[in-house]
Each structure stands twice: as C-alpha cells, then as structure tokens.
C-alpha cells in the first residue's frame, strides 16, 4: 500500500512542514512547494535547504546523550544508569511529574511535549464538542456556550495533563531527534545530510499516523496554499 499524500488534508501536511522548518532551522518561500509532485522531491528540497557543515555522526545518538544528561541533572541521579529501555513513568513519579519534566525542558532548552491528559478526559471532551456542534443547529446560544467550554476544557486538560504519550527514554529520544534536529546536535553548525530525508519521513509517519513502509519516495504529493 502506498500513501497518496494528496488524499491527506493540506492543513495536516502544513502542520508537519511547520515542524520540519522548526526542527531543521529553515523556511519555505511562498512558491517553493508549488511544483512538488512526490514525497521524494519534498525530501530533496528540505535536504538542500538545511544549512550546515556535513558530518556523518548520528543525531539520534547525540539526542540520547543530551536527554540522558538532562534527566540525570533534573532528577539528580547518575546519568550513566539511564538506558533507552527505561520507562518514563518509573523515572518520573506522577505526583511531581510536570515539575520534573519542566526541569528537563529547561536544561535541554526546548519543550519535549511528552505529557497529555488521561484518555477518558480526551474522549469525554471530544463527545462534548461533537454534541455542542450538533446543538448549534437547535439552539445556537447553548451550542456556542458548549463549544467554548469544550475548547477551554481541552486547553486546561492539556496544560495540566500528567500522562506520558510515550513509554521509554528511547522513544522520547527519537521524538526530540526528529522534532528538534538542530538543537540536539553537539554542534548546531553541523548536519548529517544522509539522515534528513529519514527524519522527515519519521515526522510524516508519526504525525499523520502512517504505517511503516507506506511512504516511499514516489508517493504522490499535492500542496495547496
């Protein structure tokens, strides 16, 4: 099965491209995406645009060392004891989890965005949102009030959520390596050009919930401004 990116909403693709710009430190010009037809062409133009001296070292490995150091400093434990298989929920007790994750983020210099509300709360808010949208057709004032409450509830739950969206240090390492590529490298002036296309592919697969081996270079691509 091959994913046709033209069948995915432009808004969702745009969100992924914004993440790519932030991660790799570049900006698309207004008309740069107009003639792109395949996912491979998109990867090629991103690889070309990313600035830096080429180096063959592994960014994911560097991300692990940086994350390991930040967790060790935040929790005041020996960083050498931390491994990729360690469970995040075992390292960060729920009671102090948000404060400790914030310490890790301050040391890293960027947000890891790894906490979320309980799934039950997310489901209930989604149901309430749908009910409010339907309610707009019957009593627009009540429906609008419900809509605003559901949006406010979503923002509050996201702000105070304490559940991990990932399980292990290794999974968090991969996340920050693809979402904060330049910031996790030991030398931000260097890049590994061989990795960039794969990191872009990881961003698309993760954010668009695509399965493995469904995003080859020839996958069709359309972008509408």
pLDDT digits (tens, 9 = 90+) for 5-63: 666 787 888 899 999 999 999 998 878 888 888 889 999 999 999 999 999 999 999 99
Question: What integer is the mean pLDDT of 147-151?
Answer: 86
The pLDDT value given to residue 68: 97
| pLDDT confidence tier of residue 178, bands split at 50, 70 and 90 | very high
The pLDDT value given to residue 4: 58
pLDDT at 3 over 60: no
The pLDDT value given to residue 1: 44
| pLDDT confidence tier of residue 222, bands split at 50, 70 and 90 | low
Q: How many CB atoms lie within 10 A of CB 121?
A: 17
pLDDT at 106 over 90: yes
Burial label for 213, CB within 10 Å (0-12, 13-18, 19+), is exposed
Instruction: Provide the mean pLDDT of the chain.
Output: 89
The pLDDT value given to residue 217: 86
Residue whose token pair is 């240090």: 169
Tell me the CB-side half-sphere exposure of residue 143, using CA atoms within 13 A.
Answer: 11
pLDDT digits (tens, 9 = 90+) for 115-129: 988 888 878 878 888
């Amino acid at each position: 099965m091959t994913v046709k990116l033209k069948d995915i909403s432009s808004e969702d693709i745009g969100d992924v491209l914004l993440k790519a710009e932030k991660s790799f430190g570049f900006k698309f010009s207004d008309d740069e995406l107009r003639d792109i037809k395949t996912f491979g062409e998109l990867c090629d133009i991103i690889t070309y645009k990313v600035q830096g001296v080429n180096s063959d070292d592994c960014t994911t490995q560097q991300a692990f060392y940086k994350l390991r150091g930040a967790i060790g400093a935040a929790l005041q434990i020996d960083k050498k004891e931390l491994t990729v298989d360690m469970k995040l929920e075992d390292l960060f007790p729920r009671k102090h989890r948000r404060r400790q994750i914030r310490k890790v983020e301050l040391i890293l210099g960027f947000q890891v965005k790894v906490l979320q509300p309980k799934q039950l709360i997310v489901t209930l808010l989604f149901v309430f949102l749908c009910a409010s949208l339907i309610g707009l057709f019957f009593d627009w004032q009540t429906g609008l009030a419900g809509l605003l409450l559901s949006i406010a509830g979503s923002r509050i739950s996201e702000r105070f959520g304490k559940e991990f969206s990932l399980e292990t240090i290794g999974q968090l390492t991969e996340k920050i390596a693809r979402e904060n590529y330049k910031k996790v490298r030991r030398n931000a002036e260097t890049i590994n050009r061989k990795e960039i296309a794969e990191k872009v592919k990881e961003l698309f697969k993760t954010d668009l919930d695509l399965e493995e081996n469904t995003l080859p270079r020839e996958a069709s691509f359309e972008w509408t401004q």
